[in-house]
Amino acid sequence: MAYRASKAALNQLSRTMAAELAREDFICIVISPGWVRTEMGGNGAPLSPEQSVRAMLKVIDRLKPADNGQFLDERGKEVPW
């Protein structure tokens, strides 16, 4: 429960930062790395850490002011929360 609550708090913090920093041309997002083969993700996860990072960097490179405050997946699609 604490892990889930911390993720919700992170999303809200990002939204607050997005609203406050937009006037300074910051774009604040939360981005999910996807299901990654790590100790936490396990061996069945489809993404290697390197694939996840490459995908997230592509998303970051394409960010626009309209993305400010969003929660995105590693492909850049909005994740509802």
Catalytic residue set: 3, 7
Q: How many CA atoms lie within 13 A of 38 on its CB side?
A: 11
Own/partner contacts of 11-16, CB < 8 Å, gap of 24 or more, are 11/71, 11/81, 14/69, 14/71, 15/69
